[in-house]
């Protein structure tokens, strides 16, 4: 049985359901999920506007705990800590345990598909890491997209119906400026098809990309047959 460590810095029932559903589609019954959670990491990042040294240390401790407990790969769920994940990639290669960002392949696909991208978030701390990842992956393929910010203040704790409506309002505000929407947070994924249907603009969210990237990482390390 393949063991996957799921590292959360902020947890909602919707996010857990979305992530595990997408993983099930890619990996079926071949894996066991082990969750590692520390909501103080995202709380501290929100308070300070960036991932502090103390928060990063706690995040790295979750990775090491997962590796000590024998996971074959780690999926990092939080986009706010993306740059911290990037900083431990040499360690993960040395230890033979991939640490996969849930959002990197989404950002790379966005860069492939469009030069006018609307980046939508409800937390400022997820906006810049997502934008920087889009720009980095775009440079790798010779693209230089224009990014349009869609920060929705105060929407993080809304219920699903209210959230969908404020998301739609922001998307309608931006749609004449962009050809593609990117959702910064995995917890937004339940309304990606709704926004795409209502606006007519392709909308990307990270859980399905993260699941595919995790599967590929397992194949690359020989843990899973292609």
Interval 31-50: pLDDT, tens: 999 999 999 999 999 899 89
**Which residue, among 33, 40, 32, 88, has the nearest Cα to 64 in the 3D structure?**
88
pLDDT above 90 (res 131): yes
Whether residue 110 is found in the same domain as residue 197: yes
Calpha distance 193→187 (Å, rounded): 14
Whether residue 41 is found in the same domain as residue 53: yes
Whether residue 74 is found in the same domain as residue 114: no
The predicted-structure confidence for 109-126, as pLDDT tens digits, reads as follows 999 999 999 999 988 889
What are the phi and psi torsion angles at 172 (to 5°)?
-65, -35
Calpha distance 158→174 (Å, rounded): 21
The predicted-structure confidence for 56-107, as pLDDT tens digits, reads as follows 999 999 999 999 999 999 999 999 999 999 999 999 999 999 999 999 999 9
Query: Under a CB-based contact definition with an 8 Å cutoff, are residues 142 and 155 in contact?
Result: no
Calpha distance 138→128 (Å, rounded): 15
pLDDT above 80 (res 146): yes
Q: What is the pTM of this model?
A: 0.93
Calpha distance 74→20 (Å, rounded): 13
What CATH number should be reported for the domain holding residue 170?
3.40.50.1860
Whether residue 109 is found in the same domain as residue 202: yes
Q: Is residue 138 part of a domain?
A: yes
Whether residue 134 is found in the same domain as residue 198: yes
Q: What is the DSSP letter of 158?
A: -
Calpha distance 133→145 (Å, rounded): 12
* pLDDT value of position 124: 87
Number of domains comprising the chain? 2
Q: Is residue 120 part of a domain?
A: yes
Q: Residue 216's domain spans which residues?
A: 2-102+208-220
The better pLDDT of the pair 71, 155 is held by 71
Calpha distance 157→122 (Å, rounded): 9
Q: What is the DSSP letter of 20?
A: H
Average pLDDT, the chain: 94
* pLDDT value of position 156: 65
Q: What tokens does 209 get?
A: 């990309």
What CATH number should be reported for the domain holding residue 213?
3.40.50.2300
Whether residue 91 is found in the same domain as residue 137: no
Whether residue 121 is found in the same domain as residue 194: yes
Whether residue 41 is found in the same domain as residue 67: yes
Q: Average pLDDT of 147-158?
A: 84
Whether residue 98 is found in the same domain as residue 112: no
Three-state DSSP class for residue 155: coil
Out of 129-138, 154-163, 175-184, least confident range: 154-163
Out of 12-21, 97-106, 213-222, least confident range: 12-21
């Amino acid at each position: 049985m393949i063991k996957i460590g799921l590292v959360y810095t902020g947890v909602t029932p919707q996010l857990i359901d979305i992530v595990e559903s997408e993983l099930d589609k890619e990996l079926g019954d071949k894996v066991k999920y082990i969750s590692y959670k520390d909501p103080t990491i995202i709380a501290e990042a929100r308070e300070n506007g960036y991932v502090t040294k103390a928060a990063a240390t706690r995040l790295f401790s979750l990775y090491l705990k997962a590796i000590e407990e024998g996971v074959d790969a780690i999926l990092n769920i939080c986009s706010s800590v993306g740059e911290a994940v990037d900083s431990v990639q040499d360690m993960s290669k040395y230890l033979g345990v991939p640490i996969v960002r849930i959002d990197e392949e989404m950002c790379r696909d966005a860069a492939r598909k469009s030069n006018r991208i609307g980046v939508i978030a409800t937390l400022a701390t997820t906006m810049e890491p997502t934008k920087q990842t889009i720009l980095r992956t775009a440079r790798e393929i010779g693209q230089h997209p224009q990014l349009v910010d869609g920060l929705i203040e105060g929407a993080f704790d809304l219920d699903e119906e209210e959230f969908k409506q404020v998301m739609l309002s922001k998307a309608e505000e931006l749609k004449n400026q962009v050809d593609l929407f990117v959702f910064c947070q995995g917890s937004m994924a339940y309304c990606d098809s709704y926004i795409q249907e209502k606006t007519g603009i392709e909308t990307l969210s990270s859980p399905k990309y993260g699941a595919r990237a995790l599967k590929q990482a397992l194949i690359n390390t020989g843990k899973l047959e292609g």
